[in-house]
Structure 1
Amino acid sequence: MNIQHKTAIVTGGGTGIGKAVSIELAKRGARVVVNYSRSREDAEETVRTIQGGGGTAVAVQANVAKEAEVQAMVGRAASEFGSVDILINNASITRYIAMNDLDSVNDEAWDELYQVNVKGMFYCARAAAAEMKKQKQGVIVNLGSIAGITGSGSSLPYAVSKAAVHGLTRSLARALAPEIRVSSVAPGAVATRWWAGREQQMEQLAGSLLLNRISSSEDIAHMICAVVEQDSLTGQVITVDAGQTM
C-alpha cells in the first residue's frame, strides 16, 4: 500500500512506539489519528510535531477496552478524513509481576491485560475493518512482543496476552482476506520511557544482544511502515529484537 494520502489510526499514539509510528506515517504522507486514553498532552504534542513538519493529524480520545469509544473514534476518523485505510493496534498495558510469583497473579491482572491487549485490539480491528471494506482494501498491524514468543517478560499475564495477540493476528488475517491484510510486529526490548530508573539494566541487556544495542522506537516504526507498504505480506509475526531471541 502506498501510504501517501491514506488515513491511519494509531492507538496509544502519543508516546513511545505509538508516537514514533505516528510521526513516520505522517512523514510518508498519511493523515494520522493519534489515539490516546489518558495521555492527552502527549498526544497533542505528537500532533503538533506532525503539523510542524507539514503533516496532517488529529488527537482523538478513546479507551480501546470500551467498544463504544472505539466505534466513535473510527467513525470520527472516517467522517473527518473520508476513509480508514490503516490501523496500528499499538495500545497495550502491563503489570510488573515476577514470572515465578504465581500467587500474585490475580483475576484483576488477567482481566485488565486481556481487556486492553487482546479484546481492545479486536474491537479496533473490527471497527476499522468495517470502514476498510468500503474501499475493499486496508492494513492492520498489531503490536505483539517477543514475550508472546519466549513466554518471559514483565509478567506472566502480559506474556500470555501477547501470545494471544499473535494468534489474533493470524485469525484476523484469515477472516479479513483478501481485501484486508493483517500482520504483527513483535519487538524485543525498546528504549522507551518504561526504562526510566533502570538505565543500567538496559545497558547490561544491550551488551548481551547480538547487535549490542536496544531497539529504538523509530526502529519499530520503520518496520511497521514497511509491513504496511508490503502488499504480499499478511498473517505474519515479525520479530524486531536486535538478536534478543537468538
Structure 2
Amino acid sequence: MDLKYKTALVTGGGTGIGRAASLALAARGVSVAVNYSRSRDDAEETVRLITNGGGRAVAIQADVAKDMEVRDMAEQVVRHFGAVDLLVNNAGITRHIPFDDLEGATEEVWDELYQVNVKGMFFCARAVAPYMRKNQQGAIVNLGSIAGQTGLGSSLPYAVSKAAVHGLTKSLARALAPEIRVNCVVPGAVATRWWAGREEQMKKLAPQMLLKHISTPEDIASLICTALEQEAMTGQMITVDSGQTL
C-alpha cells in the first residue's frame, strides 16, 4: 500500500513511539490524527511538528478504554480528513510491580491494564473497521511487547496484557480479512519516558543485547510504516529488539 495521501489514526500519538510514528507517517505524506487521553500539550506539539513541516495533522482527545469515546473519535477523523485508512494502536499503560508481589497485582491493576492495553485496541479496531471496509482497504498495526513473549516485564499483568494483544492481532486478522490487514510490531526495550527513574537499569541492559543498543522510538516507527505498507502480510508478530530475546 502506498501510504501517500492516506489518513492514519495514531493512539497515544503525542509521546514516545506514538509521536515517532506520527512524524514518520507524516513524512510519507499521510494525514495524521494524533490521539491523546491526558497529554494534550504533547499531542498538540506533535501536530505542530507535522504542520510546520508542511503536513496535515489534528489532535483528538479520547480515552481508548471507553468505547463511545473511541467511536466518536473515529467519526471525528473521518469528518476532518474524509477517511481513515490506517490505525496505529499504540496507546498503552503499565504499572511497575515486582513479579513475586502477587498481592500487588490487584484486581484494579488487572482491570486498568486490560481495559487500555487490550480492550482499547479492540475498541479502536472495531470503530475504524466500517470506514476501511467501505473503501475496500485498510491496515492496522498493534503495538505488542516482548513481555508478551517472554513473560517478563514491568509487571505480571502488563506481560499478560501484551500476550493478549498478540492473540488479538491474530483474531482480528481473521475477522477483518480480506479488506483489512492486521499485524503486530513487538518492541523490546525502547528509550522512552517509560524508563524515567530507571535510566541506569536501561544503560546496563544495552551491552547484553546482540546489537549493543536500546531501540529508539524512530526504530519502531520505521517498522510500523513498513508493516502498514506490506500488502502480503497479516496476522504477524514482528519483533524489533536489537537481539534482546535471542
Q: TM-score range by the shorter chain?
A: over 0.9
SS of corresponding position for 1:141: strand
Unaligned residue ranges in structure 1 (runs of 5+): none
| Deviation (angstroms), 1:200 | 1.5
In structure 1, give the amino acid aligned to 2:53. G
Runs of 4+ in 1 over 6 A off after TM superposition: none
- Kindly provide the CA deviation profile for residues 113-158 of structure 1, in whole angstroms up to 9, marking residues without a partner as x: 0000000000000001111011010000000000000000000000
The CA distance in 2 between the partners of 1:142 and 1:234, in whole Å, is 12
- The residue aligned with 1:75 is 75
The CA distance in 1 between the partners of 2:149 and 2:166, in whole Å, is 9
- The residue aligned with 1:112 is 112
SS of corresponding position for 1:59: strand
- The residue aligned with 1:47 is 47
In structure 2, give the amino acid aligned to 1:48. R
The CA distance in 2 between the partners of 1:114 and 1:157, in whole Å, is 8
SS of corresponding position for 2:34: strand
- The reply on whether 1:194 has 2:191 as its aligned counterpart is no
The CA distance in 2 between the partners of 1:70 and 1:197, in whole Å, is 32
| Deviation (angstroms), 1:194 | 1.7
SS of corresponding position for 1:109: helix
In structure 2, give the amino acid aligned to 1:144. G
- The reply on whether 1:244 has 2:206 as its aligned counterpart is no
The CA distance in 2 between the partners of 1:11 and 1:102, in whole Å, is 30
TM-score (structure 2 length as normaliser): 0.99
- Kindly provide the CA deviation profile for residues 32-56 of structure 1, in whole angstroms up to 9, marking residues without a partner as x: 0000000000000000000111100
In structure 2, give the amino acid aligned to 1:222. S
In structure 1, give the amino acid aligned to 2:62. A
- Kindly provide the CA deviation profile for residues 147-190 of structure 1, in whole angstroms up to 9, marking residues without a partner as x: 00000000000000000000000000001001000000010000
In structure 2, give the amino acid aligned to 1:120. G
Unaligned residue ranges in structure 2 (runs of 5+): none
| Deviation (angstroms), 1:196 | 2.1
Matched length = 246
